[in-house]
Structure 1
Amino acid sequence: MARQWLVLLRALPSFLKYVILGIGITIVVYLSGERVASETNANAQAQALTQAGHVQLGRGEATAALQSWQAARKLYIQAKNEEGVFGSSINQILALQALGLYPRACNILVETLNLETWVCQSSVSLDRQQEERLIQLVQKQPSSPLNNIGLCSIGNVLRSMGKLRESEIVLHQAHKNSSTRQKENGDVLLSLANTERALYVQALNKYQLVEEPVAKGLALQTADLKLRQALANYQKIAHESATVNLVLQARLNYLSLLLDINRYYALNTPNINASTLQKLQQETQPFILPSIGQLLATSFDYLPVIDSVYARLNLVNSLIEAYQIANLNKAALKEKIDLRLQAETLAKIALQIAKNINNIRAKSYALKALGEITEILDKPGRSRTHLVAALRSAQSVQAWDIAYQIQQQLGMFYNRVGDLPNAIKYYKAAIASLDRLRSNSTLNSLDNQFLFREKIEPIYKTYIKLLLSSPSPDFQEIIQINSKKQTVEIENFLQCAKIERGAVDENSTRSSTAYIYIIDLDERVEAIVNTPERTFHAYTIDPKSVKANVDNLILNLQRNKTPYTKPYINEKSVTLYSQELYQLLISPIEKYLSQAKTLVFALDSPFQNVPMALLYDGKKYLIEKYSISNTLGLQLQKPQMIATNNLKAIVAGVSEKSPSYRELDTIENLSSLPEVISEINKIKASVQVVELLNQQFTTERLQQKVGTSNFPIVHLTTHGQFSSDPDRTLLLAWDRAIDLQEVGKIVQSRLQNQLDALELLVLSACQTAKGDRRSVLGLAGVSVQSGARSTLATLWFVDAKSTARLMGEFYRNLKLGKPKAEALQQAQLSLMQDPNYRHPFYWSGFLLLGSWL
């Protein structure tokens, strides 16, 4: 959030004033005191309020600044001063950004610039029509300094919201409009470079998280392109701009980006395309020390006071990162540059200035930086003192984005010195601060988006490890924290605000249900079972063994390419790995499951693609002993059974090749699905159906039916793909693909008409993306977007005839009053009893997610 603070600059001769903000540049306008004699009293009052707002913001009083600018805007309206009204609207954005209220800031800018409100709405990504429309809207903007200030401001706000493609479109147009005005062009170019840098970070983190080969390749190409664009633009500003502020900001950003490349390469060497990223690292590292030397020789004193604080702290962070790169630190010492001492000196100056102007937030950042430096200098006592003071300051202004990082550092400190109670205390507090961020959407701002694996997940994992190391582990707390981690992962995947989920009350569910949690803690895998008697048992598993068997099992299961090929791997090739997994995951707890009839698995993402029904004890598959469901640990809806007198379904299917087939190019040999008609007919035998087949199954008609029919079940039988890349999670209607965003819109139409949430969403004939070990994350995303109590889906291209039969049996069992998990189990067993369908390929690829009742 330091990047989002803005201060008053020295007066410029014109009525325009440009205010520069931390790392990211935001351009704002306000009226100076220079006014002709005919100035009204309202104008004079508005000017005073405008200047007061900047002083307040400089002190960290964002709410007061917002109120001053709102009052100034009213006065400018009274004085009929259009420039003042425009400037006051833009100024309000500064305070809203400082408060983390990005959507509200975006809405003000949209109104000011006469854009359309959907620009600010949360979504996974722009669709093609929206992108074309946004380009048209910004191209219509007049090429004037005032309008360009507005475009640059909304570009920065959109970037802060994580809407990077939108930000890029807007800033490209602003850059084009300002190309003949040097100062204005430099400001816009710096903002554009910051968005390009954010796109690089987004693409590189997608490369790390996504498992699908095609998506990984595209992500790496994008990362390389955006990185080079950002570096080139920072250098262009540093070499060509006549404005010292711009030059300094460009140099600071250039250095931090160079270090980011090295940091990322060092952290992720085992998981990256070494040739591409190693080349980047080798190309950029020689420029780091010269950049540091240049910045250390620069005076920050000519900057506005608060900007000088954050500029120094920006450089402090870069010096700390450079120190942690061994060969860079050695080279720096040869040139007589002590990176640690330089960082300490800068941080102390920043702290003193922050104290002088009473900016609590800046003070907290400076104390946090001093805590990190004194830790490096082997002064743990002083480090703890600085961090405790930093935390106190952050909490006093509710700066939870700073607080959780400090609490994590304090937790790490106490863990190192062996003080387990205090380590647990601070990690628990860090997660509470993250919860506060999630509640106000700030967790999904630019500072935290796309960095789940690097910044957020380790906090949850370390806290769980600390709890497990206690003499008497609190298993309820462990399960709750892991469930939060899984939920935050989905929020990060969907790039959405906090998902409101109700906790599963395990004590209130059936006494025949056991819950099994498989938790990935990197160097170990922890399994916890909550038995039907509601007792807990835990055991540790070697991660290499379990992950190797998971990978080999999934690789074998995904070898079939179409729904019509017979499985060309024999059953023993599957049971070889599924039996190993049974021994690792189930055998240690089998003695506690004697009273269980249903197993509910909460699996971390490395294991979610495994159909647990397939685990084999040498004689029987797990599905032959128990009905099985998967849950993310927390439910969107309280588990409950579908009333047998209300079995009605909207059933939509595509049996022929349709225009939408071209949109799913990642599935090989995509063919028609003639057995869809048979599947629908079998469903009709047990359920009242509204049918949408082929040309009738358009996105518009599906939304109309879902939004007006209070049917508890929606059954889609069509090609589809679940991927760990949200942009490649698609379902095919007749006319086009339905992505995650579209699923949300369809369901929202139902809820807007005050209809009940879905009881069951069935996705038949879909599959997880080939080679993607985390693709069930896409299925979880669909489940969340739909708000369904339960989701039933296929994990690979299952045989069409056997699927039609299984679905018929499933609905027949529901009609008989069986819970969903048991209804699915009995349908799977019916296939296994047929010699033609005994092979696991036919019956094990069905996954029930959510409520098992």
Structure 2
Amino acid sequence: MFRRRKLILIFAFIVTYLVTLFLNNKINHQQAFAMNRTSDNVNWVQEMVKMDEDCKEDYQDFFKTNFTEKTLEIEQVVNQLKNLQQQTEKKTAAIWVWSYPDSLEVAMITAQNQPMGGIALEADALTIDNTVKEYINQLTNPFPPLGIRNSTAYLTPAQKLHRWIIKPLEAQLEAENIDTLIICVGPRLRSIPFAALHDGHNFLVEKYSIAIVPSFTLTNLDVSPKNQEEVQILAMGTSTFEFLSPLPGVTLEINNIVPAPWNGVKMTENLFTLDNLKAQREQQPYEIIHLATHAKFEPGEPTNSFIQLNDRPLTLNDIRELNWDNPPVSLLTLSACETAIGDAQAQLGFGGLAVQSGVRSALGSYWQVSDAGTLALMSEFYQHLKSYQTKTDLLLKSDALRDTQISMINHQVYVNNGQLRSTRGNLALPAVLTEFGDDDLSHPFYWAPFTIIGSPW
């Protein structure tokens, strides 16, 4: 009996020892893994190449197109940033952001060729998903308890995201006087309006011009040659639809762009057809194409996402056949654009708009804002874009968008007594655009969704 009890005790001791050893090893392994996931012992050049390649593959798989066989070469990016600084006087940072199951990772390179990055272990995948969802919900909900013009509930998630994504890079950004961010964004993060990230004092767009790229390998960052002839715009749109809600501000929006501040051609309503779109582009290599119509990025195949013309929808697959890369369209604007927020495939469609269409840059929005808000932003944007083009002979698109968003933040663009008041002066609005009263348009609901996709210039 004694011997049997002794054997049981010995067996229990052995089991306890093995369990303890296993748990200690597991804890040590987790600690070692956490220790390895620090910014001090990461090869950031390798991380940038990996993240960019993964992003490229995401878009190529979605569009079922092999856009390029090239892989990222950091030295080439550095040389591009140096050349861009000489040509545009802009000091630019290339940034990659990626969400892993256990953490969020950011990496950056600038013209000074000092790769760096940071890892936020607190920002695991579930935390990121919840934070992004809260951020978007607080920005897009038009009727919070205090009303859209007063609600600041978005600030909590906006500051979290800023702390995880921008804060690790901030000291270097300030040391190099960086003024432009080109950001390549991975899964879980592609619906983030970066402009409205907040450091506790200011929005991110108040410090930097911002452009989003699907991947640096898929983006042509070279500055367009200075134009020998006047840059012109092709502005087209329609206000009425068979199955979609009307856009009553379209005609006024287009008339407020052409012929001033931009010369070009405008076609609306029944003239906004695929044949006319093709014919106009063949007759004149317009560098700017402005489409004031519904554009929807939907879940599923690229054929589900479309730009609505008067006679038919133009799908993301159709758009590549327009050959807007030869000669290249410098800017495609979709003024009434919206994305199925939270859906990964819809986000790939929106993020891949520039590369799929062949244009150098696209201006679109994550969600559709009011007709008056869209008219206000577009009116201000094209005024700033023309001002830059007149001064520099360059289309500084992300700078023009930044100036527009800052004007809205600072209450310089608003609707009052039936008029749009902006830095351009006053514009009388039809009653249908002011039926809900005045809008100060300073809340990020109105300006944050608009994003430059592709080259900032």
Give TM-score scaled by structure 2 length: 0.74
**Separation (CA, whole Å) in 2 of partners of 1:567 and 1:741:** 39
Closer, same or farther: CA 772–556 of 1 in aligned 2, 3 Å: farther
Q: Residue 113 of structure 2 corresponds to which residue in structure 1?
A: 534
Partner residue, 1:363: none
Q: Which residue of 2 aligns with 1:821?
A: 398
Match of 1:674 in 2: 248
Paired with 1:607 and 1:471, the residues of 2 have a C-alpha distance of 24
| Contact 2:51/2:96 (<8 A) preserved | no
Q: Is the 8 A contact 1:717 1:764 kept in 2?
A: yes
Change in Cα spacing, 1:638 to 1:576, as seen in structure 2 (3 Å) is closer
Deviation at 1:570, TM superposition (A): 4.4
Q: Which residue of 2 aligns with 1:729?
A: 305
Judge conservation of contact 1:653–1:716 (CA < 8 Å) in 2: yes
Letter in 2 for 1:735: D
Give 1:711 shift.
0.8
- 1:526 Cα offset (Å): 1.0
Amino acid at match of 1:802: G
Aligned-pair CA distance for 1:553: 1.1
Aligned partners of 2:203, 2:293: CA distance in 1, in Å? 29
Shift of 1:642: 7.2
- The counterpart of 1:553, out of the listed 117, 129, 135, is 135
Match of 1:757 in 2: 328
Counterpart selection for 1:589 from 169, 191, 202: 169
Letter in 2 for 1:720: A
Closer/same/farther in 2, CA of residues 642 and 650 from structure 1, 3 Å limit: farther
1:530 CA drift (Å): 2.2
Cα 1:585/1:626, change in 2 over 3 Å: same
Q: Which of these residues, 407, 410, 416, is aligned with residue 830 of structure 1?
A: 407
- Aligned partner of 1:506 in structure 2 is 81
- Structure 1 pair 837–787 and aligned structure 2 pair: CA distance change class (3 A): same
- Please give the secondary structure, in 1, of the residue aligned with 2:153: helix
2:232 paired residue number: 648
Q: Is the 8 A contact 1:605 1:777 kept in 2?
A: no
| Root mean square deviation of aligned Cα | 2.8
TM-superposed deviation, 1:777: 0.8
Give a deviation string over 1:483-512, Cα, whole Å, max 9, x none: 121111111101123436796433433261
1:294-323: per-residue Cα shift (whole Å, max 9, x none)?
Answer: xxxxxxxxxxxxxxxxxxxxxxxxxxxxxx
Match of 2:151 among 571, 595, 604: 571
CA distance in 2, matches of 1:781, 1:852: 15
Question: What amino acid does structure 2 have at the position aligned with 1:591?
Answer: A
Alignment of 1:419-458 (within 5 A): none
Corresponding residue SS for 1:678:
helix
For the 8 Å contact 2:71–2:217, the answer to whether it is kept is: yes
Q: Distance in 2 between matches of 1:583 and 1:471?
A: 18
Shift of the alpha carbon at 1:472?
5.9
1:845 is aligned with what amino acid? P
Structure 1 contact 612–622 (Cα < 8 Å) conserved:
yes
Letter of the structure 1 residue corresponding to residue 105 of structure 2 = E
Q: Tell me if the contact between 1:698 and 1:734 (Cα under 8 Å) persists in the aligned partners.
A: yes
Higher helix share: 1
Aligned: 1:490 with 2:59: yes
Aligned match of 1:637: 220
**Cα separation, 2, equivalents of 1:605 and 1:512:** 27
Deviation of 1:474 after TM superposition, in Å, equals 3.8
Distance 1:479 1:794, change over 3 A: same
Structure 2 counterpart of 1:841, from 406, 424, 445 = 445
Classify the secondary structure of the residue corresponding to 1:690. strand
- 2:433 corresponding residue in structure 1: none
Q: Secondary structure at the match of 1:608?
A: coil
More moved, 775-784 vs 495-504: 495-504
Paired with 2:60 and 2:364, the residues of 1 have a C-alpha distance of 21
Query: What amino acid is the match of 1:849?
Result: I
Structure 1 partner of 2:418: none
Structure with larger RCO (C-alpha < 8 A, sep 6+) = 2
Gaps of 5+ in 2: 1-28, 390-395, 415-439
Quick one: which amino acid aligns to residue 592 of structure 1?
Q
Q: 1:850 to 1:512 in 2, by over 3 A?
A: same
**Counterpart-to-counterpart distance in 2, 1:535 and 1:771:** 34
Instruction: Give the share of equivalent positions with the same residue, in percent.
Output: 27
Deviation of 1:653 (Å): 0.7
* Counterpart Cα distance in 2 of 1:571 and 1:499: 44
Q: Which residue of 1 aligns with 2:261?
A: 686
Secondary structure of the structure 1 residue equivalent to 2:133: helix
Which residue of structure 2 aligns with residue 717 of structure 1? 292
CA distance in 2, matches of 1:774, 1:576: 27
Q: 1:605 to 1:737 in 2, by over 3 A?
A: same
* Cα drift, residue 794 of structure 1: 1.1
Q: Are 1:531 and 1:592, in contact at CA under 8 Å, matched by a contact in 2?
A: no
Tell me how far apart the structure 2 counterparts of residues 727 and 570 of structure 1 sit (CA, whole Å): 39
- Counterpart CA distance in 1 for 2:42 and 2:285 is 45
Report deviation, 1:772: 2.4
Kept in 1, the 8 Å contact 2:307–2:313? The answer is yes
Q: Give the secondary-structure state (helix, strand or coil) at the position aligned to 2:402.
A: helix
- CA change 1:468–1:714 in 2 (3 A) is farther
In structure 2, do the counterparts of structure 1 residues 701 and 828 end up closer, same or farther at CA, with 3 Å as the change threshold? same
* In 2, Cα distance between equivalents of 1:635 and 1:497: 10
Tell me the alpha carbon deviations over residues 740-771 of structure 1, each in whole angstroms, 9 at most, x when there is no partner. Answer: 12111222xx56xxx41111111111100154
Structure 1: segments with no counterpart, 5+ residues: 1-417, 419-464, 663-669
Q: After superposition, what is the alpha-carbon deviation per residue over 1:534-576, rounded to whole angstroms, capped at 9, x for unaligned?
A: 3222211222333321121123334349xxxx96484312112
Measured in 2, the distance between the counterparts of 1:569 and 1:721 equals 26
2:314 to 714, 720, 738: 738
* Distance in 2 separating the partners of 1:788 and 1:808: 22
Kept in 2, the 8 Å contact 1:675–1:804? The answer is: yes
Q: Is it true that 1:580 corresponds to 2:169 in the alignment?
A: no
Q: Call closer, same or farther: CA 1:770–1:613 in 2, change over 3 Å.
A: closer
Give the 3 Å change call, closer, same or farther, for CA 846–688 of structure 1 in structure 2.
same
* Aligned match of 2:437: none
Residue identity matched to 1:676:
V
Judged with a 3 Å threshold, the aligned counterparts in structure 2 of structure 1 residues 713 and 551 are, in CA distance, closer, same or farther, namely same
In structure 1, distance between residues paired with 2:342 and 2:142: 12
CA distance in 2, matches of 1:800, 1:742: 27
Aligned partners of 1:502, 1:745: CA distance in 2, in Å? 25
Residue 189 of structure 2 aligns to which amino acid in structure 1? Answer: F
Counterpart of 1:812 in structure 2 is: 383
- Flag the 1:839–1:823 CA change in 2: closer, same or farther, 3 A: same
- Take 1:760 and 1:497, find their aligned partners in 2: how far apart are those partners? 23
Q: Which residue of 2 aligns with 1:519?
A: 98
Work out whether residues 289 and 329 of structure 2, in 8 Å CA contact, stay in contact via their aligned partners in 1.
yes
- Give the aligned partner of residue 48 of structure 2: 479
Provide the residue aligned with 1:47 in structure 2. Answer: none
Cα gap change, 1:612 to 1:690, in 2 (>3 Å): same
Deviations 1:25-79 (A, max 9, x none): xxxxxxxxxxxxxxxxxxxxxxxxxxxxxxxxxxxxxxxxxxxxxxxxxxxxxxx
Deviation at 1:584, TM superposition (A): 1.9
* Pairwise CA distance, 1:531: 4.2
TM-score (norm. length: structure 1): 0.41
AA paired with 2:452?
L
Distance 1:567 1:484 in 2: 43
The alpha-carbon deviation at position 622 of structure 1 amounts to 0.7
